[in-house]
Structure 1
Amino acid sequence: MSKIVITFLLFINVYFSFACLNGETKILENGAIIYEDYESSIPYGHQFYLENVVKLKNQLDSLYKKTGKIAYLSDLGYLLTIEGKLIEARDLYLEIEKKHPNRYSTASNLGTVYELLGENDKALFWINKSISLDSKSHFGSEWLHSKILEAKIKGEVFYNSKFLLDIDFDKYSYPISTLSKSKLHNVESALYYQLNERISFIKSNDPIIAVLLFELGNINMLNKDFKSAEEIFKMAKEYGLKNELISTRLAYIEGYSKGQTDKKNDRINPTNIQYNIPKTILLILIISFLIGLVYYFFIKKHKKI
């Protein structure tokens, strides 16, 4: 019986561990994990695991030479990119494109590398090519990457929500949307994905990131996720956004949060415990299962006697 109970408890422990980690994971062709993102409405960017990057690059190069599998070489280019070795990454991806043309990942990665090099015209060419090869990849968000590059080429006057996203949540303290729920969700997904990628590489002042963060914060407000909206708005300010509207909406959130706190304080709740019903039910089921196991083996043992 003890073996069964231990196995069951280990399974439950693994279940709860993975339940907390539902974000995106980047696994290279050789099985190495480069990052794991925790599920969140806030685009913090990837935290790359680069402690063994030299060893990883050698492994990928060796595996490519041994097997000829182009995915190993492509992953090597990815590592060079996140290391900031952009010229090496560019040259490698161009070599891959010559040998194996019209691969989505090559076009997409070249677009990213050229943008990081500041060559936005070339970046736009490759991103548009990647969209033509697979418009649904990267959660169907590359249209936004393309618009960002267009704005960079056209100039700062195009660094606005109307051009980038074709949306306007009005000028009131609480955002107003005429978008359908599905359209709003699609915009939110594109914003989150593109911001999460960009923030992984750009940690300081950036006017386009600031604008996009502001609109993601507005969508979180519309979703009634005020805590995430507040943090995203603060990130937008850190990336350089300066306008009265963001201050107005932060004030609205502060007022809303204070009102909710006052309501909670008015309730008769001496222990101030917030119950998580699904987890409580699951815990009850687990305890019941274990009690049942103990009872079953107890009866079985006494029947033998």
Structure 2
Amino acid sequence: MRFKLILLILLFINLWSKPALACGNFYGHNLQGEIVFSPDIYLSATMLSFDKDWLWSQKKELEEKIKRKPQNFQFKSDLSLVLMQLGMTDSALSILRPLIKLYPTEYNVVANLGTAFELKGKLDSALILIRKGYELNPLSHRGSEWIHIKILEAKIKAKRSNPTWMQRNAIITMEELEQRLGEGELKAEQVNLDFNYQIRTRVPFTPAPNAVLSNLFETLGDFNEKYGTYEQALLAYAYSMKFSSNPNYNENIRRKIKNLNRQLHENKGEHDLSPEFHSMLIRSEVDPMLLVLGLDDYADHLDSIYLRNQSFDSLKIAKMQLDSIAKAVEEKDRLADEKIRNQENHSYLYLLGGLALGLLVGILVRQLAKRKAQ
């Protein structure tokens, strides 16, 4: 029993010490009234900025590791990322520029230098490196770096042509997204997950207002209106307005929200919206901008649901792992008992065999003694 208790404690320490990207899943409704699986689209308070206290502790820890092992390039690459998250991009570049010469095909070094160049506004250099990183490791960032490439291409277009380019053009067009769906390898929910990952990793670097994030959210709204759920389309449009500072642009998003609600009402299917989304529907019909005011509260609501589910899932995983270990221990005990029984059985056989042999020898000795006596 004590052994099981120790295992359970170790399992919980292992489960709770692992960082998790808060990305839950639930069932929403498409505009035809069907219930559809959909990843959550939201940004809670913890996603909007970096944990500076934790980053400073990481910086100190990595610097100590580098002192002990100055030839370890992995520690240096990790330190460069921490420095970028702390806003010390020049310091990060002073680490990464020498590293890229020594490790030109090391994905983390290539991708980190690309990010550093992007933060410094060196977009052409950033694009070259992010493309190279995607070639080296297309599965990095859960396979979503194709969006990062499209973002850099769009930022270069805006820089060269017109600063308002992103308010008039989509960074990623619906045609491009439909082509990805047409390949048969990616489903609608995977596109949502790719957008979510890229948006959430970008948000702490780029607080609102931000034209890139506003543009991505608008595309995400359009995509979910056609291929996803009403709920996610509504949230995406609301976030698009949250990250925009342009009244004309926001007016266009308002029209999209009104059109989304009109399609919902015109549909004859049953839309059993959750109480939270029913409330958001009413607010969006009064004034779409009211949605923006309630986004933070709604994100906290979704985050609390995710954390409760994570806690429940962690308990289930821990129990399953503990049961598995307990069964392994029981099997080991059973095999040990079986081995002991076999040994005991063998011992009995050896004993009986020895007695029989001894009796036979005794009889032979007596027979020989009788013959001698005669």
Q: TM-score by structure 1 length?
A: 0.64
For 1:95 and 1:120, how far apart are their aligned partners in 2?
Answer: 20
Q: Percent identity?
A: 25
| Residue of structure 2 in register with 1:38 after alignment | 22
Q: Is the 8 A contact 2:209 2:243 kept in 1?
A: yes
Matches within 5 A, 1:288-299: none
User: What CA RMSD, in Å, does the superposition of the two structures yield over aligned residues?
Assistant: 4.1
> How far apart are residue 91 of structure 1 and its match?
1.5
Tell me how far 1:163 sits from its aligned partner. 5.8
2:206 counterpart letter in structure 1: I
Tell me, yes or no, if the aligned pair for 2:217 and 2:236 is still in contact at 8 Å: yes
CA distance in 2, matches of 1:261, 1:101: 52
Q: Is the 8 A contact 2:131 2:149 kept in 1?
A: yes
Residues 242-277 of structure 1: CA deviation (Å, up to 9, x unaligned)? 2555323423555649964699xxxxxxxxxxxx9x
Q: 1:259 to 1:130 in 2, by over 3 A?
A: closer
Q: Whole-Å Cα distance in 2 between the matches of residues 262 and 58 of structure 1?
A: 46
**Is 2:80 the counterpart of 1:77?**
yes
Q: Does structure 2 retain, via aligned residues, the 8 Å contact 1:151–1:164?
A: yes
Matches of 2:166 and 2:187 in 1, distance apart?
Answer: 22
Per the alignment, residue 257 of structure 2 pairs with 250
**Structure 2 CA distance for partners of 1:128 and 1:262, relative to 1, 3 Å:** closer
- SS of the aligned residue for 2:53 comes to coil
Unaligned runs of 5+ in 1: 22-31, 170-176, 264-275, 287-305
- Written as runs of structure 1 = structure 2, the 5 A alignment for 1:98-247 is 98-155=101-158, 156=162, 159=166, 164-167=171-174, 179-180=181-182, 182=186, 184-222=188-226, 225-240=229-244, 242=249, 244-247=251-254
- CA drift at 1:109: 1.1
Q: 1:147 to 1:243 in 2, by over 3 A?
A: same
Report the Cα distance in structure 2 between the residues aligned to 1:166 and 1:261, rounded to whole angstroms. Answer: 29
Aligned partner of residue 48 in structure 1, secondary structure: coil
Distance 1:81-1:147 versus aligned 2 partners, 3 A rule: same
The runs of 5 or more residues in structure 2 that have no matched partner are: 25-39, 276-308, 320-374
Offset, 1:223 = 5.6
Distance in 2, matches of 1:143 and 1:261, equals 33
Structure 1 residues 122 and 245 mapped into 2: Cα distance closer, same or farther (>3 Å)? same
| Aligned residue in 2 for 1:298 | none
Q: Secondary structure at the match of 1:216?
A: helix
Displacement, 1:226?
3.2
Paired letter, 1:159 = M
After TM superposition, which residue ranges in structure 1, 4 or more long, deviate above 6 angstroms? Answer: none
Instruction: Give the secondary-structure state (helix, strand or coil) at the position aligned to 2:203.
Output: helix
Evaluate the alpha carbon distance shift between residue 160 and residue 140 of structure 1 in structure 2; reply closer, same or farther with a 3 A threshold.
farther
CA distance in 2, matches of 1:46, 1:204: 9
Q: Deviation per CA, 1:123-180: give whole Å up to 9, x if none.
A: 11211221222222112222221221112112247537976323159xxxxxxx7854
For the Cα contact (< 8 Å) 1:161–1:215, is it kept in 2? no
Amino acid at match of 1:166: T
Query: Does the 8 Å contact 1:145/1:194 carry over to 2?
Result: yes
Instruction: Check conservation: 1:161, 1:167, Cα contact below 8 A.
Output: no
Aligned pair count reads 244
- In the alignment, the residues of structure 1 paired with residue 79 and residue 60 of structure 2 have an alpha-carbon distance, to the nearest angstrom, of 9
Identify if the C-alpha distance between structure 1 residues 127 and 219 changes in structure 2 by more than 3 Å, giving closer, same or farther. same
Partner of 2:50: 48
1 or 2 for the larger relative contact order (CA 8 Å, sep ≥6)?
2
Q: CA deviation at 1:214?
A: 1.1
Give 2:67's aligned residue: 65
**Deviation string, structure 1 residues 5-31 (Cα, Å, up to 9, x no partner):** x96xx79x96xxx7xx9xxxxxxxxxx
Cα separation, 2, equivalents of 1:145 and 1:224: 22
**d(CA) in 2 for partners of 1:132, 1:72:** 23
Offset of residue 92 of structure 1: 0.9
Residue 67 of structure 2 is aligned to residue 92 of structure 1? no
Residue 57 of structure 1 and its aligned partner are, at CA, apart by: 1.7
Cα offset, 1:58, TM superposition: 2.4
Please give the TM-score of this superposition, normalised by the length of structure 2.
0.54
